[in-house]
Structure 1
Amino acid sequence: MAKEKSQTWEWIKAIVVAVVLAAVIRHFLFAPILVDGVSMMPTLHNRDRMIVNKLGYNLGEPKRFDIIVFRATEDKDYIKRVIGLPGDRIEYKNDVLYVNGKAYEEPYLETYKKQVTEGSLTYDFTLEEVTGARTVPKGQLFVMGDNRRFSKDSRTIGTISMDQVIGKANIVYWPIKDARVIEK
Protein backbone atom coordinates (compact mmCIF):
# COMPACT_ATOMS: atom_id res chain seq x y z
CA MET A 1 0.00 0.00 0.00
CA ALA A 2 2.80 2.44 0.86
CA LYS A 3 4.56 1.53 -2.39
CA GLU A 4 1.41 2.39 -4.41
CA LYS A 5 1.10 5.78 -2.64
CA SER A 6 4.77 6.48 -3.30
CA GLN A 7 4.41 5.59 -6.98
CA THR A 8 1.24 7.70 -7.32
CA TRP A 9 2.99 10.63 -5.63
CA GLU A 10 5.95 10.33 -8.05
CA TRP A 11 3.55 10.41 -11.02
CA ILE A 12 1.75 13.47 -9.65
CA LYS A 13 5.08 15.28 -9.14
CA ALA A 14 6.23 14.39 -12.67
CA ILE A 15 2.97 15.66 -14.19
CA VAL A 16 3.07 18.91 -12.19
CA VAL A 17 6.71 19.53 -13.20
CA ALA A 18 5.86 18.85 -16.87
CA VAL A 19 2.88 21.24 -16.80
CA VAL A 20 4.88 23.99 -15.08
CA LEU A 21 7.79 23.53 -17.51
CA ALA A 22 5.44 23.66 -20.52
CA ALA A 23 3.80 26.83 -19.17
CA VAL A 24 7.17 28.53 -18.65
CA ILE A 25 8.38 27.58 -22.12
CA ARG A 26 5.15 28.79 -23.75
CA HIS A 27 5.02 32.05 -21.82
CA PHE A 28 8.68 33.07 -21.98
CA LEU A 29 10.38 31.21 -24.84
CA PHE A 30 8.22 29.81 -27.65
CA ALA A 31 4.53 29.85 -28.51
CA PRO A 32 2.38 28.57 -31.35
CA ILE A 33 0.52 31.00 -33.59
CA LEU A 34 -2.09 30.48 -36.28
CA VAL A 35 -1.82 32.62 -39.41
CA ASP A 36 -5.27 34.17 -39.83
CA GLY A 37 -5.85 35.63 -43.28
CA VAL A 38 -3.97 36.24 -46.51
CA SER A 39 -1.94 39.35 -45.67
CA MET A 40 1.38 37.44 -45.70
CA MET A 41 0.85 35.47 -48.91
CA PRO A 42 2.74 34.09 -50.77
CA THR A 43 5.21 33.58 -47.89
CA LEU A 44 2.59 32.38 -45.39
CA HIS A 45 -0.84 30.96 -46.04
CA ASN A 46 -4.10 31.23 -44.14
CA ARG A 47 -4.21 28.58 -41.38
CA ASP A 48 -0.44 27.94 -41.36
CA ARG A 49 0.74 27.15 -37.84
CA MET A 50 4.01 28.67 -36.72
CA ILE A 51 6.34 28.88 -33.73
CA VAL A 52 7.00 32.34 -32.29
CA ASN A 53 10.45 32.77 -30.74
CA LYS A 54 9.81 35.11 -27.80
CA LEU A 55 13.34 34.98 -26.47
CA GLY A 56 15.22 36.35 -29.50
CA TYR A 57 14.27 40.00 -29.14
CA ASN A 58 15.04 39.98 -25.42
CA LEU A 59 18.64 39.44 -26.51
CA GLY A 60 18.66 41.58 -29.67
CA GLU A 61 16.63 43.88 -31.88
CA PRO A 62 14.45 43.02 -34.89
CA LYS A 63 16.21 43.20 -38.22
CA ARG A 64 14.86 44.46 -41.52
CA PHE A 65 12.72 41.80 -43.24
CA ASP A 66 12.22 39.68 -40.09
CA ILE A 67 8.71 38.27 -39.81
CA ILE A 68 7.34 39.30 -36.43
CA VAL A 69 4.22 38.80 -34.36
CA PHE A 70 2.95 41.81 -32.44
CA ARG A 71 0.00 42.78 -30.29
CA ALA A 72 -2.21 44.88 -32.60
CA THR A 73 -5.18 45.18 -30.26
CA GLU A 74 -5.97 43.86 -26.81
CA ASP A 75 -7.30 40.61 -28.28
CA LYS A 76 -5.60 40.40 -31.71
CA ASP A 77 -2.04 39.63 -32.76
CA TYR A 78 -0.74 40.45 -36.26
CA ILE A 79 2.04 38.82 -38.20
CA LYS A 80 3.95 41.12 -40.58
CA ARG A 81 7.39 41.77 -42.04
CA VAL A 82 9.70 44.47 -40.62
CA ILE A 83 10.38 47.01 -43.36
CA GLY A 84 11.58 50.07 -41.46
CA LEU A 85 13.72 50.38 -38.34
CA PRO A 86 14.01 53.44 -36.08
CA GLY A 87 15.46 56.40 -38.01
CA ASP A 88 14.69 54.94 -41.46
CA ARG A 89 13.06 56.91 -44.27
CA ILE A 90 10.70 54.62 -46.21
CA GLU A 91 9.40 55.10 -49.74
CA TYR A 92 7.70 52.84 -52.27
CA LYS A 93 7.90 53.86 -55.91
CA ASN A 94 7.07 51.76 -59.00
CA ASP A 95 6.95 48.57 -56.88
CA VAL A 96 10.43 49.18 -55.49
CA LEU A 97 11.15 49.63 -51.78
CA TYR A 98 13.54 52.45 -50.89
CA VAL A 99 15.02 52.71 -47.41
CA ASN A 100 17.04 55.84 -46.75
CA GLY A 101 17.14 56.45 -50.51
CA LYS A 102 18.59 53.01 -51.32
CA ALA A 103 16.56 50.53 -53.41
CA TYR A 104 16.05 47.12 -51.79
CA GLU A 105 15.17 43.86 -53.48
CA GLU A 106 12.39 41.86 -51.90
CA PRO A 107 12.92 38.32 -53.25
CA TYR A 108 10.05 36.96 -51.13
CA LEU A 109 7.66 39.00 -53.34
CA GLU A 110 8.88 37.70 -56.73
CA THR A 111 6.25 34.93 -57.00
CA TYR A 112 3.49 37.36 -56.11
CA LYS A 113 4.74 40.06 -58.50
CA LYS A 114 4.55 37.58 -61.38
CA GLN A 115 0.89 36.83 -60.52
CA VAL A 116 -0.19 40.48 -60.49
CA THR A 117 -1.27 41.33 -64.03
CA GLU A 118 -2.86 44.73 -63.69
CA GLY A 119 -1.48 47.67 -61.80
CA SER A 120 1.26 47.35 -59.26
CA LEU A 121 1.74 45.21 -56.20
CA THR A 122 2.17 48.17 -53.88
CA TYR A 123 0.86 51.66 -54.41
CA ASP A 124 3.45 54.45 -54.28
CA PHE A 125 3.84 56.14 -50.90
CA THR A 126 6.32 57.73 -48.54
CA LEU A 127 6.48 57.17 -44.80
CA GLU A 128 5.48 60.78 -44.25
CA GLU A 129 2.38 60.41 -46.44
CA VAL A 130 1.08 57.37 -44.53
CA THR A 131 2.20 58.15 -40.96
CA GLY A 132 2.98 61.86 -40.86
CA ALA A 133 6.58 61.18 -39.73
CA ARG A 134 9.65 61.72 -41.92
CA THR A 135 11.49 58.82 -40.29
CA VAL A 136 10.46 55.77 -38.27
CA PRO A 137 10.35 57.06 -34.68
CA LYS A 138 12.74 55.78 -32.01
CA GLY A 139 11.44 52.56 -30.44
CA GLN A 140 9.06 51.95 -33.38
CA LEU A 141 8.94 49.69 -36.45
CA PHE A 142 7.31 50.08 -39.85
CA VAL A 143 5.77 46.73 -40.88
CA MET A 144 4.02 45.46 -44.00
CA GLY A 145 2.36 42.26 -45.09
CA ASP A 146 3.79 40.45 -48.11
CA ASN A 147 0.37 40.52 -49.79
CA ARG A 148 0.67 44.28 -50.18
CA ARG A 149 -2.72 44.79 -51.85
CA PHE A 150 -4.59 43.09 -49.00
CA SER A 151 -2.68 43.83 -45.82
CA LYS A 152 -3.64 45.95 -42.86
CA ASP A 153 -0.20 47.14 -41.82
CA SER A 154 1.77 50.28 -40.92
CA ARG A 155 0.31 52.05 -43.95
CA THR A 156 -3.05 52.04 -42.14
CA ILE A 157 -2.29 51.39 -38.45
CA GLY A 158 0.93 53.42 -38.26
CA THR A 159 4.26 52.34 -36.83
CA ILE A 160 4.26 49.83 -34.02
CA SER A 161 6.05 50.11 -30.72
CA MET A 162 8.82 47.65 -29.88
CA ASP A 163 6.80 46.99 -26.70
CA GLN A 164 4.07 45.46 -28.88
CA VAL A 165 6.44 42.89 -30.42
CA ILE A 166 5.87 39.37 -29.11
CA GLY A 167 8.61 37.68 -31.10
CA LYS A 168 10.02 36.45 -34.37
CA ALA A 169 8.13 33.86 -36.42
CA ASN A 170 10.11 31.90 -38.97
CA ILE A 171 9.18 28.25 -38.41
CA VAL A 172 6.07 26.80 -40.08
CA TYR A 173 5.22 23.42 -38.55
CA TRP A 174 1.73 22.78 -39.93
CA PRO A 175 0.56 21.62 -42.37
CA ILE A 176 3.36 19.05 -42.34
CA LYS A 177 3.80 19.19 -46.13
CA ASP A 178 4.61 22.92 -45.84
CA ALA A 179 6.83 22.67 -42.74
CA ARG A 180 9.91 24.85 -43.16
CA VAL A 181 12.18 27.51 -41.77
CA ILE A 182 11.54 30.82 -43.54
CA GLU A 183 14.64 32.64 -44.68
CA LYS A 184 14.47 36.34 -45.48
Structure 2
Amino acid sequence: MTTRGKSEIVEWTKAIVIALLLAVVIRYFLFAPIVVEGQSMMPTLHHSDRMIVNKIGYTIGKPKRFDIIVFHATEEKDYIKRVIGLPGDTIEYKDDVLFINGEAVEEPYLDHLKADLETNDFLTYDFTLEQVADQSVVPEGHVFVLGDNRRHSLDSRDIGFVEYEDVIGKANMIYWPVSDIRFAK
Protein backbone atom coordinates (compact mmCIF):
# COMPACT_ATOMS: atom_id res chain seq x y z
CA MET A 1 0.00 0.00 0.00
CA THR A 2 1.28 3.42 -0.89
CA THR A 3 1.90 6.22 1.56
CA ARG A 4 -0.96 8.12 -0.01
CA GLY A 5 -3.33 5.16 0.55
CA LYS A 6 -2.31 4.84 4.21
CA SER A 7 -2.74 8.57 4.71
CA GLU A 8 -6.22 8.41 3.21
CA ILE A 9 -7.22 5.54 5.53
CA VAL A 10 -5.96 7.50 8.55
CA GLU A 11 -7.92 10.58 7.49
CA TRP A 12 -11.13 8.56 6.98
CA THR A 13 -10.67 6.86 10.33
CA LYS A 14 -10.22 10.23 12.06
CA ALA A 15 -13.34 11.61 10.36
CA ILE A 16 -15.43 8.61 11.41
CA VAL A 17 -14.19 8.74 15.01
CA ILE A 18 -14.90 12.49 15.23
CA ALA A 19 -18.38 11.99 13.75
CA LEU A 20 -19.15 9.22 16.26
CA LEU A 21 -17.91 11.35 19.17
CA LEU A 22 -20.05 14.28 18.04
CA ALA A 23 -23.08 12.01 17.74
CA VAL A 24 -22.54 10.69 21.28
CA VAL A 25 -22.11 14.20 22.73
CA ILE A 26 -25.21 15.49 20.94
CA ARG A 27 -27.29 12.44 21.92
CA TYR A 28 -26.35 12.33 25.61
CA PHE A 29 -25.83 15.98 26.45
CA LEU A 30 -27.80 18.17 24.06
CA PHE A 31 -30.75 16.49 22.35
CA ALA A 32 -32.36 13.06 22.47
CA PRO A 33 -35.09 11.32 20.51
CA ILE A 34 -38.10 9.93 22.40
CA VAL A 35 -41.20 8.01 21.43
CA VAL A 36 -44.54 9.00 22.98
CA GLU A 37 -46.25 6.01 24.59
CA GLY A 38 -49.94 5.99 25.40
CA GLN A 39 -52.71 8.53 25.14
CA SER A 40 -52.07 10.74 28.18
CA MET A 41 -51.04 13.78 26.11
CA MET A 42 -53.69 13.54 23.39
CA PRO A 43 -54.68 15.51 21.36
CA THR A 44 -51.40 17.46 21.63
CA LEU A 45 -49.24 14.33 21.23
CA HIS A 46 -50.24 10.93 19.92
CA HIS A 47 -49.09 7.40 20.68
CA SER A 48 -45.92 6.63 18.66
CA ASP A 49 -45.12 10.28 17.86
CA ARG A 50 -41.37 10.71 17.75
CA MET A 51 -39.95 13.85 19.30
CA ILE A 52 -36.71 15.65 20.02
CA VAL A 53 -36.03 16.45 23.68
CA ASN A 54 -33.93 19.55 24.34
CA LYS A 55 -31.68 18.54 27.24
CA ILE A 56 -29.66 21.75 27.49
CA GLY A 57 -32.46 24.26 28.07
CA TYR A 58 -32.96 23.35 31.71
CA THR A 59 -29.27 23.29 32.55
CA ILE A 60 -29.32 27.08 32.31
CA GLY A 61 -32.99 27.65 33.21
CA LYS A 62 -35.96 26.06 34.90
CA PRO A 63 -39.16 24.57 33.45
CA LYS A 64 -41.84 27.14 32.69
CA ARG A 65 -45.56 26.82 33.13
CA PHE A 66 -47.16 24.82 30.29
CA ASP A 67 -43.83 23.44 28.98
CA ILE A 68 -44.09 19.84 27.83
CA ILE A 69 -41.34 17.98 29.67
CA VAL A 70 -39.87 14.48 29.77
CA PHE A 71 -38.85 13.20 33.19
CA HIS A 72 -37.81 10.02 35.00
CA ALA A 73 -41.00 8.75 36.64
CA THR A 74 -39.34 5.51 37.76
CA GLU A 75 -35.91 3.96 37.21
CA GLU A 76 -37.27 2.13 34.17
CA LYS A 77 -39.84 4.59 32.80
CA ASP A 78 -39.83 8.17 31.52
CA TYR A 79 -43.06 10.20 31.27
CA ILE A 80 -44.02 13.13 29.11
CA LYS A 81 -46.41 15.68 30.68
CA ARG A 82 -47.25 19.37 30.80
CA VAL A 83 -45.97 21.60 33.63
CA ILE A 84 -48.93 23.15 35.45
CA GLY A 85 -47.53 24.20 38.82
CA LEU A 86 -44.20 25.84 39.68
CA PRO A 87 -42.55 26.12 43.11
CA GLY A 88 -44.71 28.14 45.50
CA ASP A 89 -47.91 27.77 43.44
CA THR A 90 -51.26 26.66 44.78
CA ILE A 91 -53.21 24.54 42.29
CA GLU A 92 -56.93 23.82 42.24
CA TYR A 93 -59.42 22.55 39.70
CA LYS A 94 -63.04 23.50 40.15
CA ASP A 95 -65.79 22.92 37.57
CA ASP A 96 -63.15 22.08 34.94
CA VAL A 97 -61.30 25.38 35.44
CA LEU A 98 -57.65 25.58 36.51
CA PHE A 99 -56.90 27.99 39.33
CA ILE A 100 -53.27 28.90 40.01
CA ASN A 101 -52.69 30.97 43.12
CA GLY A 102 -56.44 31.65 43.28
CA GLU A 103 -56.76 32.99 39.71
CA ALA A 104 -58.50 31.21 36.83
CA VAL A 105 -56.05 30.28 34.05
CA GLU A 106 -57.01 29.37 30.50
CA GLU A 107 -55.74 26.15 28.94
CA PRO A 108 -56.28 26.55 25.18
CA TYR A 109 -54.57 23.21 24.46
CA LEU A 110 -57.61 21.52 26.08
CA ASP A 111 -60.28 23.30 24.02
CA HIS A 112 -60.44 20.45 21.50
CA LEU A 113 -61.14 17.85 24.19
CA LYS A 114 -63.59 20.04 26.09
CA ALA A 115 -65.60 20.70 22.91
CA ASP A 116 -66.33 16.97 22.64
CA LEU A 117 -67.73 16.69 26.18
CA GLU A 118 -71.39 16.33 26.93
CA THR A 119 -73.15 19.14 28.80
CA ASN A 120 -72.28 19.16 32.52
CA ASP A 121 -69.36 16.78 31.90
CA PHE A 122 -65.80 17.64 32.93
CA LEU A 123 -62.39 16.76 31.53
CA THR A 124 -60.56 17.34 34.82
CA TYR A 125 -62.15 16.33 38.10
CA ASP A 126 -62.18 18.82 41.00
CA PHE A 127 -59.13 18.69 43.27
CA THR A 128 -56.73 20.79 45.32
CA LEU A 129 -53.04 20.14 45.91
CA GLU A 130 -53.81 19.20 49.50
CA GLN A 131 -56.20 16.49 48.32
CA VAL A 132 -53.81 14.90 45.82
CA ALA A 133 -50.38 15.66 47.29
CA ASP A 134 -50.91 16.44 50.99
CA GLN A 135 -49.28 19.86 50.53
CA SER A 136 -50.78 23.27 49.98
CA VAL A 137 -48.09 24.58 47.58
CA VAL A 138 -45.68 23.10 45.05
CA PRO A 139 -42.39 22.64 46.96
CA GLU A 140 -39.13 24.32 45.95
CA GLY A 141 -37.21 22.38 43.31
CA HIS A 142 -40.35 20.62 42.04
CA VAL A 143 -43.10 21.00 39.45
CA PHE A 144 -46.68 19.73 39.29
CA VAL A 145 -47.48 18.06 35.96
CA LEU A 146 -50.63 16.86 34.21
CA GLY A 147 -51.29 15.04 30.97
CA ASP A 148 -53.51 16.86 28.49
CA ASN A 149 -55.86 13.88 28.30
CA ARG A 150 -56.82 14.30 31.96
CA ARG A 151 -59.12 11.29 32.13
CA HIS A 152 -56.39 8.94 30.93
CA SER A 153 -53.20 10.27 32.46
CA LEU A 154 -50.97 9.05 35.24
CA ASP A 155 -49.52 12.34 36.46
CA SER A 156 -48.81 14.41 39.60
CA ARG A 157 -52.29 13.65 40.90
CA ASP A 158 -51.07 10.04 41.22
CA ILE A 159 -47.26 10.12 41.35
CA GLY A 160 -46.74 13.41 43.19
CA PHE A 161 -44.45 16.30 42.38
CA VAL A 162 -41.58 15.97 39.91
CA GLU A 163 -38.13 17.04 41.12
CA TYR A 164 -36.08 19.29 38.86
CA GLU A 165 -33.26 16.73 38.94
CA ASP A 166 -35.60 14.12 37.38
CA VAL A 167 -36.44 16.36 34.42
CA ILE A 168 -34.61 15.22 31.28
CA GLY A 169 -35.64 18.14 29.12
CA LYS A 170 -38.28 19.97 27.15
CA ALA A 171 -40.02 18.08 24.37
CA ASN A 172 -40.52 20.62 21.67
CA MET A 173 -40.43 19.08 18.20
CA ILE A 174 -42.32 16.21 16.63
CA TYR A 175 -40.34 14.77 13.72
CA TRP A 176 -42.33 11.60 12.99
CA PRO A 177 -44.71 10.87 11.39
CA VAL A 178 -43.57 13.23 8.65
CA SER A 179 -47.14 14.47 8.13
CA ASP A 180 -47.13 15.78 11.72
CA ILE A 181 -43.75 17.56 11.81
CA ARG A 182 -44.23 20.57 14.08
CA PHE A 183 -43.27 22.22 17.32
CA ALA A 184 -45.39 20.97 20.25
CA LYS A 185 -47.30 23.64 22.19
TM-score higher than 0.5:
yes
Cα distance in 2, alignment partners of residues 27 and 117 from structure 1: 45
Partner residue in 1 for 2:172: 170
Tell me the amino acid that sits aligned with residue 55 of structure 2.
K
Structure 1 runs not aligned, ≥5 long? none
1:151 and 2:158 equivalent?
Answer: no
Partner residue in 1 for 2:60: 59
Partner residue in 1 for 2:101: 100
Cα distance in 1, alignment partners of residues 3 and 72 from structure 2: 51
Q: CA deviation at 1:75?
A: 1.4
Percent same amino acid among aligned pairs? 63
Q: CA deviation at 1:116?
A: 2.4
Q: CA deviation at 1:164?
A: 0.3
Partner residue in 2 for 1:109: 110
1:7 and 2:8 equivalent?
Answer: yes
Task: Kindly report which structure 2 residues correspond to 1:10-159, keeping only aligned pairs within 5 A, or say none.
Answer: 10-117=11-118, 119-159=121-161
Tell me the amino acid that sits aligned with residue 13 of structure 1.
K
Of 108-117 and 160-169, deviating more is 108-117
Q: CA deviation at 1:105?
A: 0.4
Q: Deviations over 1:92-114 (max 9, x none)?
A: 01110000000000000000111
Cα distance in 1, alignment partners of residues 40 and 116 from structure 2: 15
Q: CA deviation at 1:129?
A: 0.2
Cα distance in 1, alignment partners of residues 85 and 66 from structure 2: 9
Q: Secondary structure at the match of 2:73?
A: strand
Of 63-72 and 109-118, deviating more is 109-118
Q: CA deviation at 1:177?
A: 0.5
Tell me the amino acid that sits aligned with residue 167 of structure 1.
G
Aligned pairs, how many? 183
Q: Secondary structure at the match of 1:103?
A: strand
Cα distance in 1, alignment partners of residues 181 and 118 from structure 2: 29
Q: CA deviation at 1:46?
A: 0.3
Tell me the amino acid that sits aligned with residue 149 of structure 1.
R
Once superposed, what is the RMSD of the aligned Cα atoms? 0.8
Q: Secondary structure at the match of 1:24?
A: helix
Tell me the amino acid that sits aligned with residue 129 of structure 1.
Q
Cα distance in 1, alignment partners of residues 123 and 63 from structure 2: 25
TM-score, normalising length: structure 2: 0.97
Q: CA deviation at 1:80?
A: 0.2
Q: Secondary structure at the match of 1:138?
A: coil
